[in-house]
Amino acid sequence: MKNTKFIAAAALSLLAVAGAHAETYEGVHPLTNGYSRAEVQSQGVAAARSGNAYSDVADSGVQTIVSTADRAKIQAEAVAKAHDPLQSLDRRAFFRDEVPAAYKKPSVSFTRQAGL
């Protein structure tokens, strides 16, 4: 019984030794660059200053946008939105994502009136 276990262990160890040889790593591509350090640095500086050649708008230059909106109208809308007390009211903060009626119309007036 002991001999068969010894022979089986020896056979497995021989198989493990035979299958455990390592390959050498030669890299992905062999090094074929013949540039000096200074040449590589100057090429890097030139590439950095040229911008992104793979961009969608690399060759388009400066783009101008012609707007048809009135500047005064946009400014008036921005001022009205900034003075709206309920502008940051998020419906997701309420039950079933529905803003209660009490919040929809502000009951507070922000203008002062003279009392009689």
Q: What is the pLDDT of residues 20-73, one digit of tens each?
A: 666 777 777 766 778 888 998 999 899 888 877 777 766 666 778 888 999 999
Which of 27, 11, 7 has the alpha carbon at shortest distance from 19? 11
- Distance from C-alpha of 15 to C-alpha of 9, rounded to nearest angstrom: 10
Q: Taking the model in full, what pTM does it have?
A: 0.30
Q: What is the mean pLDDT of residues 93-116?
A: 69
Retrieve residue 26's tokens: 């030669």
